[in-house]
Amino acid sequence: MNRFAIAVTLAFFSIAAHAEVEISDAWARATAPGQEVGAAYMNLKSTKTAKLVEVKSQAAGSVEIHEMSMKNGVMKMRMLEALELPAGKLVKLAPGGFHLMLFDLKKPLAAGENIELSLTLKDNRGKLTTQKVSLPVKAD
């Protein structure tokens, strides 16, 4: 095998090794004037086992991955360090379940606008990739 063929083969395996994540039904909830916290939702489907480890947005000072659950009749919300994305399985971020919390909003999220999110994903070998998504802001 010549050097070119080896380089092409290695490049192919390098590209094929990291997870690709399909993002669908992404949206953010409109906020009231003065409200400094917002929420965003979407569906994620990874081709390979991966984790969502960080989310950033210029619309907010910080973004956290959260989970809501019901235990003994009490609704609980907790921050997650990462969100598991099993290979080939749809993971829904929706009201009442997994979701993204946007803190210290720069301005209210107005229906009809879009915001940008940058998702950082980690594959099962520890490789980080970033994927950008534009979300429409909806009244509900």
Q: What is the pLDDT of residue 9?
A: 36
Q: Does residue 15 fall inside a structural domain?
A: no
What is the β-pairing status of strands 128-138 and 114-123? Answer: antiparallel
Q: Does residue 9 fall inside a structural domain?
A: no
Q: What is the pLDDT of residue 108?
A: 96
Q: Does residue 8 fall inside a structural domain?
A: no
Q: Does the pLDDT of residue 1 top 70, yes or no?
A: no
**What stretch of H or E contains 9?**
helix 3-17
Rg (CA), the chain: 18
Total domains in the fold of the chain: 1
CATH number at residue 33: 2.60.40.1890
Confidence category of residue 84, pLDDT binned at 50, 70, 90: very high
Q: What is the pLDDT of residue 18?
A: 54
Phi-psi region of 126 (alpha: psi -120 to 50; beta: other; left: phi over 0): left
Average pLDDT over residues 18-32: 90
Q: Does residue 104 fall inside a structural domain?
A: yes
